[in-house]
Structure 1
Amino acid sequence: MSELALKKSSHKGLAIRSIIKRAIFITIGAIIMGYGLEAILIPNQMIDGGVTGLSMLLSHITPINLSVFLVLLNLPFFFLGYKQIGKTFAISMLYGIIALSVATSFMHHVEPIVHDELLAVVFGGVTLGIGVGLTLRNGGVLDGTETLAILIEKRLPFSVGEIIMFVNVIIFAIAAFVFGLENALFSMLTYYIAFKTIDIVVKGMEDMKSMYIISDHTTEIADAITERLGRGVTYLHGEGSYSGEDKRVILCVFTRLEETKMKDIIREIDSGAFTISTEVAEVRGGRFKKRDIH
């Protein structure tokens, strides 16, 4: 077999393994979310946000099972996603929604695990967040609201977050009439906890940050960061607009858990250093691996 054929075979094998891995984690995420809905939220008359929340409302006021509404209400967003975002996204979304629908169908008569509203809020929010977070982290979607928000954002002067918030305000307002104001407020709190949990699951506890440091002691600060934090730094060259002086700027990328130690190092060497911290969505390549600290 030629080298080119071997490479193609290797790439194909990696692609298949990637698809299988994605499907497994989307399935796990859907099962976890389904359990959170059927064993925690529904028995306590609370809802999730988005299309899932609307499906829960409709299943409550009609004899139709939740699993049916989950598929029917999300189908339009599947077609929108297929046309506007892409085939891979749409297929992953459809698989996730079907997996969630099947999970809720099998767990429809599962025994509730909590009967206290506050416990339901906390554990319901965490369970939903873990399920949705696992799915999002592996390229899947369990609710079509995000798809709608992404598409509307291109035509209206609102962000994705603002559109999702507006949709959820309407859904929770309807929930106040169906389940009562108190349960609607509990539902909003559950959604907030789920949102924060999703953020942790998707980004991880070691969320990345970057920092620009302008100081007259850049060499000492850079050496201390390398020795005490185990992170490499990059020197950038800048010029002061007012003074016209050449300045050496330190750029360093580190985890959120290392932020406090980073600030302590800078404060100890130069308490007057000018620093700028920013969130980093992703880090790839280079020599980012953390060094051993001696």
Structure 2
Amino acid sequence: MSNGTETATEAEAQVAVRKGNHTLLEDTQGLIYGTTMCGFGIVILTHLGLVTGQTAGLAVLISYITGWSFGPVFFVVNLPFYWLGYSRMGLRFTIKTFIAVAMLSLLSKFLGTEILFAELTPWVGAILFGFVTGSGLLALFRHGASLGGIGILGLYLQDKTGFRAGWTQLTFDLCLFTVAFFVLQGGAFLWSLLGAVVVNFVIAINHRKDWYVAT
């Protein structure tokens, strides 16, 4: 996922920048909020039969093909990446990420039984998915966590080989969406692309270190 690189305007310079570490209460709130928003996004996504990128998208695609529940698949898919996360980002990040992945795995199942849609048009759902998931990911990033997966692998390969992390993520998503093209029904592929674009747009605009500094 790319980050915004525009020069800060005068209005942007007035945004309060918080330095230092979060408290345990703040981290707890951030992880709960972030995973809940992402869980809500997964409910929208799977209700419409769409996919997204990264390991969440892989887990969704596997669940469509096999009929297995998203939560357990997502948890298992991320297991190989924790050692890379520890090696590249440290123990604190890895623990927070493990907790976030476990919470999302559980919340996606719970929210799927508690949230029902009488009617949701695909294009509106794709945009809502992008907004709520982007919001959730921002919360996790700002509290020193992630939802694991390909981003960690990308950073690891960048350190070891010089191959840019963004290219690793892009390559993975291209492969994922190529498979999805043959699996999804009707216009779901195009709506899936819309949702993925909105997620990345939200993160690109809002995830800036010069606006917010905390772990």
TM range (shorter): 0.7 to 0.9
Letter in 1 for 2:42: L
Shift of 1:122: 1.1
The structure with higher relative contact order (CA 8 Å, sep 6+) is 2
Alpha carbons 1:67, 1:101 under 8 Å: kept: yes
Q: Aligned runs of 1:118-197 on 2, under 5 Å?
A: 118-180=123-185, 182-197=187-202
Shift of 1:43: 1.2
Shift of 1:25: 0.6
Measure, in 1, the Cα distance between the counterparts of 2:36 and 2:185: 28
> TM-score with structure 2 length normalisation?
0.82
Shift of 1:198: 2.1
Shift of 1:161: 1.2
Measure, in 2, the Cα distance between the counterparts of 1:114 and 1:174: 28
- Secondary structure in 1 aligned to 2:125? helix
1:18 aligns with 2:23: yes
Deviations for 1:212-264, whole angstroms, at most 9, x for unmatched residues? Answer: xxxxxxxxxxxxxxxxxxxxxxxxxxxxxxxxxxxxxxxxxxxxxxxxxxxxx
Deviations for 1:1-57, whole angstroms, at most 9, x for unmatched residues? Answer: xxxxxxxxxxxxx97x6123112211111001101111x111111112100000001
Alpha carbons 1:176, 1:182 under 8 Å: kept: no
Larger Rg: 1
Identity %: 23
1:87 aligns with 2:83: no
How many residue pairs were aligned? 192
Letter in 1 for 2:200: F
Greater CA drift, 150-159 or 117-126: 150-159
Please point out which of 69, 91, 97 is paired with 2:101: 97
When the two chains are superposed, the root-mean-square deviation of aligned CA atoms in Å is 2.1
- 1:264 maps to none
Shift of 1:157: 4.0
Structure 1: which 5+ residue stretches go unaligned? 1-13, 204-280, 285-294
> TM-score with structure 1 length normalisation?
0.61
Q: Aligned runs of 1:190-269 on 2, under 5 Å?
A: 190-203=195-208
The 1:113–1:167 alpha-carbon spacing in structure 2 relative to 1, beyond 3 Å, is farther
Please point out which of 66, 76, 84 is paired with 2:70: 66
Deviations for 1:186-221, whole angstroms, at most 9, x for unmatched residues? Answer: 212211111111234433xxxxxxxxxxxxxxxxxx
- Secondary structure in 2 aligned to 1:111? coil
Structure 2: which 5+ residue stretches go unaligned? 1-19
Shift of 1:283: 7.3
| Structure with more of its chain in strand, by fraction | 1
- Secondary structure in 2 aligned to 1:186? helix
